[in-house]
Structure 1
């Protein structure tokens, strides 16, 4: 049923989906006190509270563009993408040392891997959906062409490392809360957030460069501007220092278009079995 709905919606122009999404964003914001509180609190903590009205609309666009991104003909989807700084990627590909792409929940993060996979085979880590009904939609839509999926398991990590050592690129969402034992506490916009250590480990074990990427949503459904930025933060020696360096890089990316970050995500939650740091209740 859900797959059918997404396919029906995918025939609509992106501009129409974004317009509907803007209205949906306000509807969800007004209808859900918990969603409203988290969105406002997270934006205020980061110093972007003045972008709240835009963020409400962008959150709705993020949902309604998924049928287009996942189910529309790939040529139609790719025609909405403009690219900035691909030379950074091409130089790394030519060096055949692998690439660790880091893509935060910023803008249309679903389209970044799809585009890269049209230029080179790409393996991305993903967390399988808890609801089985979503599995055919999400996995089928994401695994297009040369885009391959590696589950967030030990076998998936081994797959990623193998790809890097063979000179291929991988993709990771670095601001996703990891499972028990797979992260450390590191500040994110001034508050400790349980942060994955995997990107730094992949970088160290393979020698592959890190490249940051995000797709900024353009106004009035005009498409997306896909940007590639070299990672230049000093890593440090400890896992905590490395996680903080990656969080700093994410903060700088988010500051470029703060209204398009996924502020409603429970970034500060305390995973089961992990002790909360002082001052963090994990309820935001």
Structure 2
């Protein structure tokens, strides 16, 4: 599988995106479960299919671009709001990046690592051994560290922030039981991680909202940064509600690049370290 990905990584990004669009539509048409969830999630947010139809192909692009991002030459990255990073670093603060399942979230971490330095990204290891090995190899890049959703991973992220480094999380990812709180997401209760707020509160890190906009015709990505408005609530459920509200705002910036097929409202898996 690694050899196949390395071969695909040689293809131009527009070709990979074109193949991804076809893959996205095949998945949408072939899986009734995925299709129903996609439509239901979009409707929950107030969107009809006409407004999010492009998200079908964009979800496929996420898969198609993976070989290039993991094994290929660097892609074009544009920046918007990078002064927020410069300010946090000048103040000697760590940075907590919050990124929804919007656009290309791989590009945001890679962009920071190549331009600014070390960043630690929270991830859930793949269940299948071959996929876990592929992802672990692909993400072993300079200045890019990964932390699993375990107690050891949390300690790793705390250490990074206290050292003035950056960490990245997908706060609209459903955490294991014990690592979240129920909070509204587009008006419906969703189990939401509380780790992001705790990391910021315990370390004094700056919280920045970030997402990687996928540019048309394979021209690369634009990393869009936003400052966190106001203060984070001390109570976990209230902080989770704040995080979800901020994620909603980012999704509404570009609903056609959100992963509407993600099972955002599922029941959390048991077995997490509290």
Question: Is this contact kept in 2: 1:233–1:245, CA < 8 A?
Answer: no
Distance 1:215 1:11 in 2: 22
2:191 corresponds to which residue?
194
Q: Map of 1:19-168 to 2, 5 A cutoff?
A: 19-49=18-48, 50-73=50-73, 76-77=74-75, 80-118=76-114, 119-168=116-165
1:269 aligned counterpart, secondary structure? coil
> Post-superposition shift, 1:27?
1.1
Question: Is this contact kept in 1: 2:19–2:61, CA < 8 A?
Answer: yes
Between 246-255 and 217-226, the greater mean CA deviation after superposition: 217-226
TM-score relative to the length of structure 2 = 0.95
Tell me the number of residue pairs that the alignment of Structure 1 and Structure 2 aligns: 269
RMSD, aligned α-carbons: 1.3
Query: 1:230-257 CA distances to partner (integer Å, 9 max, x unpaired)?
Result: 1115433321110000000000000011
Question: Is this contact kept in 1: 2:52–2:255, CA < 8 A?
Answer: no
Distance 2:4 2:70 in 1: 12
1:12 aligned counterpart, secondary structure? coil
2:173 corresponds to which residue?
176
2:204 corresponds to which residue?
207
1:12 corresponds to which residue?
11
> Post-superposition shift, 1:109?
0.5
1:194 aligned counterpart, secondary structure? strand
1:279 corresponds to which residue?
none
TM-score relative to the length of structure 1 = 0.92
Distance 1:241 1:22 in 2: 38
The 1:127/1:273 distance shift into structure 2, 3 A limit, reads closer
Distance 2:231 2:155 in 1: 26
Distance 1:41 1:6 in 2: 33
Unaligned stretches of 5+ residues in structure 2: none
2:182 aligned counterpart, secondary structure? strand
1:277 corresponds to which residue?
none
Between 140-149 and 243-252, the greater mean CA deviation after superposition: 140-149
Runs of 4+ in 1 over 3 A off after TM superposition: none
Distance 1:168 1:266 in 2: 31
Query: 1:129-154 CA distances to partner (integer Å, 9 max, x unpaired)?
Result: 11110122211111200111111110
Query: 1:136-177 CA distances to partner (integer Å, 9 max, x unpaired)?
Result: 221111120011111111011011111111111111111110
Question: Is this contact kept in 2: 1:174–1:196, CA < 8 A?
Answer: yes
Distance 1:52 1:217 in 2: 15
